[in-house]
Amino acid sequence: MFGRVRIALVAGVMVMTACVSSQETPSRQPPPVAMPKPAPRLVIQLPRPEPEEPPAPLALSRAIHALWAGFDGRTGIAIARMGGTWVIHERGDELMPQQSVSKLWVAMAVMDAIDRGQFSLDDRVTLTRADLTVFNQPIAAAIGQGSYTTTIADLLDRQMRRSDNTANDFLMRKVGGPQAIRNFIAAKGFGAIRFGPGEKHLQAKTAGLNWRPEYIDNQVFRNARAKLSDAARTAAMDAYIADPPDGASPIAIARALLRLKRGDILSPSSTRYLLNLMSTSITGRQRLHGGVPAGWRFAHKTGTGQELKGRQAGFNDVAVLTAPDGTSYAVVVMIADTRTTLAKRFELMQGISATVAAYHQQQ
């Protein structure tokens, strides 16, 4: 640019000089030539670097990895600390069968509806034999051959503390059915958490059956399942594990548990109520709970799927562990597919919760 300007300037001066010489009028001065303005200084603003997220504790990560790698089965693990930004996980972003862990979302949806005044814990409801599902349903004894009138609070107790399938599905319908639970999960921003069609339809499909009303008699269901070929049952179980309609990622569950504990999901009274149910659960005492030291608080939900010739589709425990100093951790262990013994599964789960507690006590 400046080269061209210089050439133009020289040419202009030569022309003016020629004119002066020919007209012999040296008294006229050439008009001032405007010099080009210097190009504006280019200033590049680089984006400010994002603050680096603190890395997960290396010792804890290595210990958890060793436990995970030493277990024979497809397993997802996620561990997160309240107030922290790290999540330790192994296959933590994969969808794993939840089984009865999904009762947690039903309970949250019920408590949310209570918070919004749709109904109350004391509301009375009546269940009949048509409400029965399959497998674990202690409430069937109360229903008998007739009906059973109780409260929402009683059903929540049975659902969360005893993992009663019939109580769970009744509450699910009370808040609007499976789609209402899915809408609740989406509205709360829980992420990679699916909700299936309800216990009876989920369990029937996992077995390779279509649900029929007579399956409310567990023995009728088991007899129908036993008549299926091994190939049909294996294919159904394979399909369930590969793409579980009730699948959830361990990381998503861990984050949801911390949000529940923090009080982000429900009102303070509903939060306390639900966590109390989870802390007094009678299921899964030998799972994560077995590795928690004295003085720690523990609130959890288990999930257990069907077995086929020693192979199990879903053996889970998800929990909030709270240390004596008030620090809470979400610990999620989801065994999607395994043939290992119960003792080995308990050893894995107890080892993980004990490792988390030991890490905290060393800080």
pLDDT in tens, 318-328: 999 999 999 99
pLDDT at 30: 52
User: How far, in whole angstroms, is CA 302 from its chain's centroid?
Assistant: 15
Phi-psi group of 73: left, alpha or beta (phi > 0 → left; psi -120 to 50 → alpha; rest → beta): left
Is the pLDDT at 8 greater than 90? The verdict is no
pLDDT at 1: 41
Rg (CA), the chain: 33
pLDDT band for position 41 (cuts 50, 70, 90): low
Lowest-pLDDT range of 25-39, 86-100, 108-122: 25-39
| Model confidence pLDDT, tens digit, residues 142-161 | 999 999 999 999 999 999 99
pLDDT at 363: 84
- Taking Cα atoms as reference points, which of 118, 115, 112, 67 lies closest to residue 89? 67
Q: Residue 320: in which H helix or E strand, if any?
A: strand 315-322
C-alpha span between 209 and 191 (Å, rounded): 30
The bridge status of strand 307-308 relative to strand 311-312 is: antiparallel
Average pLDDT over all residues of the chain: 89
pLDDT at 40: 52
pLDDT at 38: 54
Is the pLDDT at 36 greater than 70? The verdict is no
pLDDT at 45: 46
Is the pLDDT at 316 greater than 90? The verdict is yes
Phi, psi (degrees; rounded to nearest 5) at 75: -130, 135
Residue 172: other Cβ atoms inside 10 A: 25
pLDDT at 153: 98
Where do the H-state alpha helices sit in 77-138? 103-115
C-alpha span between 207 and 222 (Å, rounded): 9
Q: Do residues 260 and 275 lie in contact, with contact meaning Cβ atoms separated by under 8 Å?
A: yes
pTM: predicted TM-score of the whole model, two decimal places:
0.85
| Model confidence pLDDT, tens digit, residues 328-342 | 999 999 999 999 999
The sign one gets for the Cα dihedral 105, 107, 113, 116 is: negative
Is the pLDDT at 290 greater than 70? The verdict is yes
Give the SS3 label for residue 203: helix
